[in-house]
Structure 1
Amino acid sequence: MQPLIDNARLFGQRPEEFARLAEGPSPQVLFITCSDSRVVPALITGARPGELFELRTAAVGAVVRRDDLAAVPAARDRLVHAADEPKCSDITDPTVAEAVQNRVLTQLERLRAYPCIEKRLEAGELQLHGWYYEVHTGIVREHHAESGTFEMV
């Protein structure tokens, strides 16, 4: 814990670097990701403070593997009611890649269904990107609607 505390102290000693942040947040990107602590959007994208608005969602692997979530009832209830169980033909795959990718596509469909999003997409004012991040390799794959596949960025 001490290294984290020490870094937090050093972080605050660069006021000139963070002065613009005092004006308030102005992110241009909403980054929806899983709650997996190994997935760090700013690290993956190189974003600076204030550039991303991050929304963390519950992990898909627990649902696919049918893990016992009794100890975390709020997460369990959220997963049960959030969407259909992600489809996964190989639940022995520790990355549950297929299920995670299917969840990404489901979330994109849900976002597109909002009238305000649909309107901005049609006007070319907004773009949606579906990514799958491979924790074990560091590779980012983006969904391509034309091919229906996730391809390396």
Structure 2
Amino acid sequence: MAAEGQEILARLKDGIRRFQTEVHAENRDAYLKAGSTQQQPHTLIIACADSRVDVETITSSGPGEVFVARNIGNMVPAYGEMLGGVSAVIEYAVSALKVKHIVVVGHSDCGAMKALLSPSSTDSMPTVKSWLTNGQAALKVASSLGAPDEKPSEKLHRLTEENVLMQVAHLKTHPSVAGALARGDVSVSGWVYEIGTGEVRIAEDGSRVFVPVIEAKR
């Protein structure tokens, strides 16, 4: 193993030790319960694979509370187009785990959104380029709504929101989700997480407006 790789592995081991002695030890009962009972998460969260987005921390969730799927651009292929890992996670979460809520989470400074705005940036990554076709409809909507003199940062902001809304729409094409929605067994929402400030804006089901979750005053 290269020296840099060994250094990184050593850092990861240190992190594991801190988890064992601090986080796990302080929440021992919760982990014992999670390890001895079947998981019953209340929410499925579909998030970007970006390493800066930690949905368990953002939502202050403990072990067993949220079922998480991550991929580049927090994409949800419409049912039947790219049946694979994301589709399987959705079906399992709704049909087997009986989650009550589903969230699609986008975030600021998203590399996938930047790639949609600059297609040539993924020319050397054909698999990534193919995957990002799931965001083309959102790109079209964002482009049609933007002003001619819109700044690059404004375009990125708009596309990030439109992509979340489009993936929520794709989510509803999955039979398991469509059935659960019709029965009133599940609800959905779209979120945008601002990495720098910690702000989370939520568009509840049926809304195109992302409303900030305001910190409660003490």
Query: In which range does the TM-score fall when normalised by the shorter chain?
Result: 0.7 to 0.9
Paired position in structure 1 for 2:109:
none
Whether 1:22 aligns to 2:35 is yes
How many residue pairs get matched? Answer: 152
SS of the equivalent of 1:128 reads strand
Q: Assess, with a 3 A threshold, how the Cα gap between structure 1 residues 39 and 27 changes in structure 2: closer, same or farther.
A: same
Paired position in structure 2 for 1:60:
113
Tell me which structure has the larger Cα radius of gyration.
Answer: 2
What is the root-mean-square deviation in Å for CA atoms of aligned residues? 2.5
SS of the equivalent of 2:69 reads strand
Residue from 124, 129, 135 that aligns with 2:184: 124
Q: Name stretches of at least 5 consecutive residues in structure 2 with no aligned partner.
A: 1-7, 73-111, 214-218
Identity of aligned residues (%): 27
Q: CA separation in 1, counterparts of 2:207 and 2:64?
A: 34
Pick the structure with more helix per residue: 2
Q: CA separation in 2, counterparts of 1:39 and 1:94?
A: 21
Q: CA separation in 1, counterparts of 2:208 and 2:39?
A: 35
Q: CA separation in 2, counterparts of 1:152 and 1:123?
A: 29
Q: CA separation in 2, counterparts of 1:102 and 1:48?
A: 30
Q: Name stretches of at least 5 consecutive residues in structure 1 with no aligned partner.
A: none
1:109-148 alignment runs, 5 A limit: 109-144=169-204, 148=208
Q: Which amino acid aligns with 1:72?
A: M
Paired position in structure 1 for 2:157:
97
Residue from 79, 91, 101 that aligns with 2:132: 79
**Equivalent residues of 1:64, 1:91 under 8 A apart:** no
Paired position in structure 1 for 2:12:
4
Q: Assess, with a 3 A threshold, how the Cα gap between structure 1 residues 26 and 91 changes in structure 2: closer, same or farther.
A: farther
Q: CA separation in 1, counterparts of 2:120 and 2:58?
A: 28
> RCO (CA 8 Å, sep 6+): is it higher in 1 or 2?
2
Q: Assess, with a 3 A threshold, how the Cα gap between structure 1 residues 5 and 72 changes in structure 2: closer, same or farther.
A: farther
Q: CA separation in 2, counterparts of 1:94 and 1:127?
A: 29
Paired position in structure 1 for 2:56:
42
**Equivalent residues of 1:142, 1:150 under 8 A apart:** yes
Return the TM-score normalized by structure 1.
0.82
Q: Which amino acid aligns with 1:12?
A: Q
SS of the equivalent of 1:113 reads coil
